[in-house]
């Protein structure tokens, strides 16, 4: 099970990395989401794989019996998913806003903060435009 | 309880400030809360310096099963510095930041970020460190765009994109470490990973964390987000970022690569040496090429981050003490200069060096105030920067790294060039297009000047008694070199 999961994680990272090479910010964000999900899967695999063994304490017993799934990585992933979702929503709205401001979702077109000729920021000074 | 207080206070304040954000009183509350944070930081520092490290187990779960908060001298000092930085930056912000931006929750975001920063300084759990990083990150995203136009949006885009990549690397590294050691408590990890540095999984996790923290600290080759974004928001925000965000990255490097991973590891220390060397040089050269005040300062921050990381890379007692002392010196001086940059920008209506000038006649006292942090950052004796650089250069010479010592000296010469250029442009050159007589005498709001004076006073205080601060830094470095007291406090027993 672990080897196939490793291949899947590798495939996801490759897809994500490919998308992140793009200067289109939407593609970049999708790449980022895919890689962050690959990271979640890696944490899941780090907790060792088990099948059909929920970490439940039987009725009347004090502790679990035999091998059960490791519930800590699941808790970690849950936290990471929530955080990742929040960050994704923020960055998506940032891209949307940037698209509205700049008329492009291409990072090459955003040269406001670091103008190509630092001595003459094109849009800061209307008289120099 | 004392350990949780510097986290709960800013987070609680953030909620209250968000609810009261339309009321003028919230600014006062914001600054007061930062003042209380200074007291808390001072208490923790006094406690740890006197009695050694302290720890608390959250929710009553014993380590290594629950989440541990732990503080040693380094954490205490960092919380104290964070308090001072927040206090001065927010005081400046009460006047600088306009009403619409305040109504969006500027002060609440600041406190939420500080809560994340203090959490990162005080946690003893690696996954918890990740969570605090995220709290800090999402608030800093907000601060970067709040009330901003195109320029801020552009800077934020690059900041967000590059920091998110670092975040994912951090998370993956944490996962790998858990898979290898079965624990996430930093002290417990340190014990379990002793002598296992040659395992692929451990080395892979170390590489992931090294990349993640380097991205946060703005080290070569992943520093590009910093000069792209730090000059876009309000000066108070820039100052707060410069004091806290990159320093959390360096702090995490110091903590994780002494406590968890074997600090003597050749591969890691070589990687750090190379990264630090390039960061020092490229940061200084970038600053020399810029023509706008806060963009120069941004590159200067990058260059100085390199010097701090060099302390960890060399790894001797003197080098680590030098790195911690560098924190003490750099944060107040850098903040003071950035706030002054904001002040000069307000007076002259621009931050570009070819648009400002004539302030020597309008406000000579502002020039004096500018010289203190500036000369300190260059390293002119007897100011704090001289001592900080002296310790670092001596440490690198003693370790046989003559090249790196020479790099610090060369960077200082460049610093003299580019900060001197800012000074000359702002104070001595005539303001382009304006007659010298036409420039009115300059009387900035006193809440804009007071924080700068406070920071200058801190710099002068360190300059006057460097031995006390160096002893404190030595104490903090001792805790990094010999983690046994820290381990004993967190894990109990022997």
On chain A, the residues whose CB falls within 8 A of the CB of B180 are 46
How much is the pLDDT for B114? 95
- Which range has highest mean pLDDT (A68-72, A104-108, B307-311)? B307-311
Torsion (CA) B457, B458, B463, B467 in degrees, nearest 10: 140
A129 or A114, which is more confident:
A114
- A32 and B231 within 8 Å at the Cβ level: the answer is no
ipTM of the complex: 0.86
What is the torsional sign of CA B25, B30, B34, B37? positive
How much is the pLDDT for B58? 84
Reported residue count of chain B is 494
Nearest in space to B205 (alpha carbons), one of B117, B281, B265: B265
pTM of model > 0.80: yes
How much is the pLDDT for B491? 85
How much is the pLDDT for A127? 45
Q: What is the DSSP string of B177-218?
A: HHHHHS--BHHHHHHHTTT-TTSHHHHHHHHHHHHHHHHHHT
Nearest beta carbon to residue B291 from set A95, A119, A123: A119
B210 or A110, which is more confident:
B210
Q: Contact, A105 vs A99, CB < 8 A?
A: yes
What is the distance in angstroms between the Cα of B151 and the nearest Cα belonging to chain A? 5
Measured distance CA(B130)–CA(B67) in Å, rounded? 13
Phi, psi angles (nearest 5°) of residue B152? -65, -40
Reported residue count of chain A is 129
Please state the rounded mean pLDDT for residues B112-119. Answer: 95
Cis peptide before B146 (omega within 30 of 0): no
Say if residue B492's pLDDT is above 90: no
Nearest in space to B462 (alpha carbons), one of B332, B370, B323, B374: B332
Nearest in space to B190 (alpha carbons), one of B472, B482, B462, B477: B482
Please state the rounded mean pLDDT for residues B9-34. Answer: 92
Residue A117: pLDDT band with limits 50, 70, 90: low
How much is the pLDDT for B149? 77
How much is the pLDDT for A126? 45
Say if residue B169's pLDDT is above 90: yes
Provide the token pair at B76. 């205490």
- A43 and B175 within 8 Å at the Cβ level: the answer is yes
Measured distance CA(B166)–CA(B269) in Å, rounded? 20
How much is the pLDDT for A38? 93
- The pLDDT tens digits for B337-383 are 999 999 998 888 888 888 888 888 888 888 899 999 999 999 998 89
What is the distance in angstroms between the Cα of B181 and the nearest Cα belonging to chain A? 10
Say if residue B80's pLDDT is above 90: yes
B432 touches chain A (CB under 8 A): no
Grouping H, G, I as helix, E, B as strand and the rest as coil, residue B159 is helix
Residue B192: CB atoms within 10 A of its CB come to 17
Grouping H, G, I as helix, E, B as strand and the rest as coil, residue B57 is strand
Residues 53-82 of A with CB under 8 A from B: 72-73, 76, 79-80
How much is the pLDDT for A118? 53
Residues 90-119 of A with CB under 8 A from B: 90-91, 94-95, 97-98, 101-102, 107, 110-114, 118-119
- The pLDDT tens digits for B316-334 are 889 999 999 999 999 999 9
Nearest beta carbon to residue B150 from set A32, A80, A102: A102
Lowest mean pLDDT among A60-64, B143-147, B264-268, B476-480: A60-64
């Amino acid at each position: 099970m672990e080897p196939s999961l490793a291949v899947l994680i590798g495939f996801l990272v490759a897809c994500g990395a490919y998308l992140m090479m793009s200067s289109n910010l939407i593609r970049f964000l999708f790449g980022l989401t895919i890689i962050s999900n690959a990271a979640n899967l890696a944490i899941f695999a780090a907790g060792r794989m088990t099948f059909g063994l929920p970490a439940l304490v039987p009725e009347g017993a004090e502790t679990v019996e035999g091998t059960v799934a490791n519930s800590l990585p699941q808790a970690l992933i849950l936290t990471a998913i929530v955080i990742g979702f929040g960050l994704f929503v923020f960055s998506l709205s940032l891209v949307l806003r940037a698209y509205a401001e700049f008329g492009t979702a291409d990072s090459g077109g955003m040269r406001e903060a670091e103008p190509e000729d630092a001595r003459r920021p094109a849009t800061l000074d209307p008289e120099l435009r | 309880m004392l350990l949780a207080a510097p986290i709960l206070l800013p987070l609680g304040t953030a909620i209250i400030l968000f609810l009261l954000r339309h009321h003028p009183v919230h600014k006062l509350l914001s600054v007061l809360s930062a003042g209380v944070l200074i007291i808390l930081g001072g208490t923790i520092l006094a406690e740890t310096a006197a009695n050694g490290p302290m720890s608390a187990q959250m929710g009553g779960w014993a380590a290594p099963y629950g989440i541990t908060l732990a503080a040693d001298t380094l954490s205490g000092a960092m919380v104290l510095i964070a308090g001072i930085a927040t206090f001065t930056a927010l005081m400046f912000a009460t006047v600088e930041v306009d009403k619409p931006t305040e109504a969006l929750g500027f002060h609440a975001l600041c406190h939420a970020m500080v809560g994340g920063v203090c959490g990162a300084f005080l946690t003893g759990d690696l996954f918890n460190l990740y969570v605090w990083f995220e709290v800090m990150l999402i608030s800093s995203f907000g601060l970067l765009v709040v009330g901003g136009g195109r320029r801020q949006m552009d800077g934020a885009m690059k900041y967000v994109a590059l920091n998110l990549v670092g975040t994912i690397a951090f998370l993956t590294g944490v996962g790998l470490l858990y898979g290898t050691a079965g624990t996430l408590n930093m002290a417990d990890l340190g014990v379990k990973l002793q002598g296992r540095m040659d395992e692929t999984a451990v080395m892979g996790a170390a590489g992931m964390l090294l990349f993640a923290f380097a991205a946060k600290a703005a080290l070569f080759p992943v520093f590009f987000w910093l000069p792209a974004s730090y000059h876009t928001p309000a000066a108070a925000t820039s100052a707060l970022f410069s004091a806290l965000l990159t320093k959390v990255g360096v702090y995490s490097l110091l903590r994780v690569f002494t406590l968890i991973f074997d600090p003597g590891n050749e591969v890691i220390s070589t990687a750090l040496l190379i990264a630090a060397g390039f960061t020092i040089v490229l940061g200084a050269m970038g600053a020399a090429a810029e023509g706008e005040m806060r963009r120069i300062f941004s590159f200067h921050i990058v260059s100085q981050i390199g010097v701090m990381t060099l302390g960890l890379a060399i790894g001797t007692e003197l080098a680590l003490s030098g790195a911690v002392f560098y924190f003490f010196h750099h944060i107040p001086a850098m903040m003071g200069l950035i706030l002054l940059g904001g002040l000069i920008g307000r007076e002259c209506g621009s931050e570009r060096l070819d648009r400002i000038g004539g302030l020597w006649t309008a406000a000579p006292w502002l020039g004096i105030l500018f010289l203190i942090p500036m000369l300190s950052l260059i390293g002119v004796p007897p100011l704090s920067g001289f001592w900080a650089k002296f310790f670092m250069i001596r440490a690198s010479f003693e370790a046989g790294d003559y090249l790196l010592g020479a790099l610090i000296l060369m960077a200082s010469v460049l610093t003299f060039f580019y900060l001197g250029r800012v000074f000359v442009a702002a104070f001595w050159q005539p303001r382009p297009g304006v007659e010298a007589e036409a420039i009115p005498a300059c009387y900035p709001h006193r809440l804009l000047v007071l924080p700068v004076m406070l920071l200058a006073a801190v710099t002068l205080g360190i300059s006057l008694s460097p031995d006390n601060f160096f002893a404190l830094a030595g104490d903090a470095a001792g805790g990094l070199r010999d983690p046994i007291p820290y381990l004993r406090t967190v894990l109990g027993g022997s």
